[in-house]
A and B are shown apart, each in its own frame.
Chain A
Amino acid sequence: MDMELFIKYGPRILHGLWVTLELVGISLAIGAVLSLPIAMARLSKHKFLNAISYGYVYFFRGSPLIAQLYLVYYGAGQLRWELQDIGLWWFFRDAWYCTITVFALNTAAYQAEILRGGILGVPKGQLEAAQALGLKPLVTFFKITLPQAMVASLRPYGNEVILMIKGSAIASVVTIFDLMGETKLAFSRTFDLEVYFIAALLYLAVVEIIRFTWERMDNRLTRHLRPANE
């Protein structure tokens, strides 16, 4: 490969990779926190909560991430004066915060569905046993239901992490210099297709590392669920 190219753009592209990981990490963490109340609302018998959370999930899973990003990023510009009035303009003016907001809201919808599936998968007997032991509903949820639901959701969670890493490339369209953004810049200056292939390899490496780690984690965390003779 071209040494000159490597020296000039190598560090920038690696920094872009770091930005990608940061973006995905922060968004996933915020999304995880948000997903819990959304999943609870989806499961609740309260009609209003149910409808709202269903609509939320349907919107974020039904429309493209890139369109959602445009809506918030450019939409915030239109609401500039209103946002200034309530003192939030500094936040929405920044492409980085906008992107994290959209990514977090988006992954919260997906994570809520994963969590909901996991919670529904916990056998009823577990709850009855908890009740028989006199555990309060809140304790039952956090000590009995949630841990089991999270173990059951491990695999889909892993997929969501990978989808987020791939999806985060979209951040480059609103001036974020993540891995994709730095690569696009390098390409626009060199017209050397090699930089795109290098970016592809980096994404692939990250995704494969996560897949591998996740598999090991899944194996370890579910070892008590396998038959003894296996």
Chain B
Amino acid sequence: MEQYLQYLSFGNDGWGDELLYGLLLTLRLFIVTLPIGLVLGFLIALAKRSEKKWLSLAANVYTTVFRGVPELLTLFIIFYGGQMFLQFIAEFFVDDIRVDLSAFLAGVIALGFVFSAYASEVFLSAMNSVPDGQSEAARSMGMSWLRTMQKVIFPQIVRHALPGLSNLTLILQKDTALVSILALNELLRQTQVAVGNTKEPILFYSVACGLYVLLAFLTSIFFKQVESWANRGEGRA
């Protein structure tokens, strides 16, 4: 038992600080990806509702692709493909140059694409659940388009979309662990390093799983709060 505590302690003998560093990187990856995925997902939902045929078709293909291909494979394609693409662009301008796509950036792009594909479906059904009469009523009261969006439509979309987005956020949080494959020093990767040095896989992987569960717990509490805030205008019996 004492041995275990020492393994998890902070400082030179323990791996506590390394794990904490990994946890922070996991959080950073998650916090950077989330807003990008949300905005992209919203835009793609708008594209799906567009009257331009090619635009809605493109948006639907995007969703089908990123919901059908494993996250791990998407990650590899973005990482290696992005690298080759950047290299190609760079060599076009400068001879003998070597550029690298960071694992962090590849993770943000890949996970952002996957998240946005799922999120666009959530936003789409939320948009469809707001009746046309709402915007018509707002317009007839003399509200501008922007004001209508801001005060009438958007709050309702958010309310309908929140439960779905909360689920997707929890999935995104778990998917950040995949970026450990690209040797990004996030929580799972740091855990692997600790296991390699101590030969204590059960202890360290249990701790890592526990930390992910804790993150999921905290995130779900956060979303419950946001949901009750968003629903504050709803009548309750």
Residue B81 is within 8 A (CB to CB) of chain A in the complex: yes
Considering the complex, which residues of chain A in the window 74-112 have a beta carbon less than 8 Å from any beta carbon of chain B? 74-75, 77-79
Within 8 Å CB of B206, what residues of A?
71
* A66–B81 CA distance with the chains assembled, in angstroms: 23
CB distance from A180 to the nearest CB of B (A): 6
* A79–B211 CA distance with the chains assembled, in angstroms: 23
Q: Which of B72, B77, B170, B210 contacts A197 (CB 8 A)?
A: B77
- Taking a contact as CB atoms under 8 Å apart, the answer to whether B175 and A64 are in contact is yes
- Taking a contact as CB atoms under 8 Å apart, the answer to whether B73 and A58 are in contact is no
* Chain B interface extent, by class: 35 or more
Residue B32 is within 8 A (CB to CB) of chain A in the complex: no
Known: A62-B217, A204-B65. A67 touches B73 (CB 8 A): no
Residue B91 is within 8 A (CB to CB) of chain A in the complex: no
List the one stretch of A127-135, A167-175, A216-224 in contact with chain B. A167-175
Considering the complex, which residues of chain A in the window 186-203 have a beta carbon less than 8 Å from any beta carbon of chain B? 187, 193, 196-197, 199-200, 203
Q: Which of B68, B181, B195, B212 contacts A208 (CB 8 A)?
A: B68
Considering the complex, which residues of chain B in the window 165-195 have a beta carbon less than 8 Å from any beta carbon of chain A? 170, 174-175, 177-178, 180-181, 188, 191-192, 195
Q: Which of A59, A169, A170, A207 contacts B209 (CB 8 A)?
A: A59
A side interface size, CB within 8 A: 39
List the one stretch of B10-18, B94-102, B103-111, B197-205 in contact with chain A. B197-205
Contact with A along B193-237 (1 / 0, CB 8 A): 001000111100110111011001100000000000000000000
Q: Which of A64, A71, A79, A173 contacts B174 (CB 8 A)?
A: A64
Within 8 Å CB of B80, what residues of A?
187, 193, 196
- Taking a contact as CB atoms under 8 Å apart, the answer to whether A167 and B212 are in contact is no
Residue A166 is within 8 A (CB to CB) of chain B in the complex: yes
Residue A63 is within 8 A (CB to CB) of chain B in the complex: yes
**Chain B interface SS verdict (over half):** helix
CB distance from B52 to the nearest CB of A (A): 24
- Taking a contact as CB atoms under 8 Å apart, the answer to whether B209 and A67 are in contact is yes
* Chain B residue at minimal CB-CB distance from A172: B72
Residue B76 is within 8 A (CB to CB) of chain A in the complex: yes
- Taking a contact as CB atoms under 8 Å apart, the answer to whether A71 and B205 are in contact is yes
Known: A63-B174, A71-B202, A196-B77. A203 touches B212 (CB 8 A): no
* A64–B189 CA distance with the chains assembled, in angstroms: 13
Known: A63-B212, A204-B68. A70 touches B73 (CB 8 A): no
* A16–B68 CA distance with the chains assembled, in angstroms: 17
- Taking a contact as CB atoms under 8 Å apart, the answer to whether A169 and B205 are in contact is no
Known: A71-B205, A74-B205, A75-B201. A62 touches B70 (CB 8 A): no
* Chain B residue at minimal CB-CB distance from A163: B171
Most buried by A among B65, B210, B213: B213
Within 8 Å CB of B178, what residues of A?
64, 66, 170
Can you add 20 more A-B contacts, CB < 8 Å, to A66-B188, A166-B71, A196-B73? A58-B217, A59-B209, A62-B213, A63-B174, A64-B188, A66-B180, A67-B177, A71-B206, A74-B195, A183-B73, A184-B76, A193-B80, A196-B77, A196-B80, A200-B69, A200-B77, A203-B70, A204-B68, A207-B67, A208-B64
What are the 7 A-B residue pairs with the smallest beta carbon separation, nearest first?
A74-B201, A169-B70, A64-B177, A71-B205, A62-B213, A62-B216, A207-B68
- The contact sample of 5 A-B pairs, CB cut-off 8 A, is A58-B217, A162-B68, A196-B73, A200-B65, A203-B73
Chain A contacts to B: CB under 8 angstroms:
58-59, 61-68, 70-71, 74-75, 77-79, 162, 165-170, 172-173, 180, 183-184, 187, 193, 196-197, 199-200, 203-204, 207-208
Chain B contacts to A: CB under 8 angstroms:
64-65, 67-74, 76-77, 80-81, 84, 170, 174-175, 177-178, 180-181, 188, 191-192, 195, 199-202, 205-206, 208-210, 212-213, 216-217
